[in-house]
Amino acid sequence: MGRSSMAQGLLHWTRWRGRLRRRDFLLRLVIATAVFTVLFVFLDRVVSESSTLLLYPPYFTVLASLFARRLHDQARSAWWLLVPIIPVLGPLILAWRLLITPSTHGANQYGDDPRLRGYDYLQVAIHEPA
């Protein structure tokens, strides 16, 4: 993997546009949290406790990006990320939206349905007899 493709792969995690289906959202959330945890423990034990503060901005950027794209998959704006400001119910509502609410079917204003990418239902395979 070259440098440019590696950089593009890392930037893909912080992309704010597009849609992210629930399965991919959960997988990326687990991976991001695992990487954060491993780096946190490493920096805490090897360098210093204060060095772990460097991990929070990139981690929260990745989380916000994942949350925004998951909301886009439901045809909702990233402004929904402000819902947790509402005491008690806000975080529960956002968690419900991110984890339980299904995606919109078909394309919406944020892009094509990620479940249908790569599928062309109008294309018919024709096999000629040999």
How far apart, in whole angstroms, are the C-alpha atoms of residue 117 and residue 98? 21
The predicted pLDDT at position 30 comes to 95
Q: How many CB atoms lie under 10 A from the CB of residue 82?
A: 11
Q: Longest C-alpha distance within the chain, in Å? A: 71
**CB contact set of 60 (below 8 Å; sequence gap of 6+):** none
Helix (H, G, I), strand (E, B) or coil at 111: strand
The predicted pLDDT at position 91 comes to 93
The predicted pLDDT at position 39 comes to 92
The predicted pLDDT at position 111 comes to 83
Give the phi and the psi of residue 110 in degrees, each rounded to 5: -100, -5
Half-sphere exposure of 29 (CA within 13 A, CB side): 17
> pLDDT by residue for the chain (130 residues), tens digit each?
555 666 666 677 788 888 888 998 999 999 999 999 999 999 989 888 888 899 999 999 999 999 999 999 998 998 999 999 999 899 999 999 999 988 888 888 888 888 776 655 555 556 666 5
Paired strand residues for 111: 108
The predicted pLDDT at position 127 comes to 63
The predicted pLDDT at position 28 comes to 92
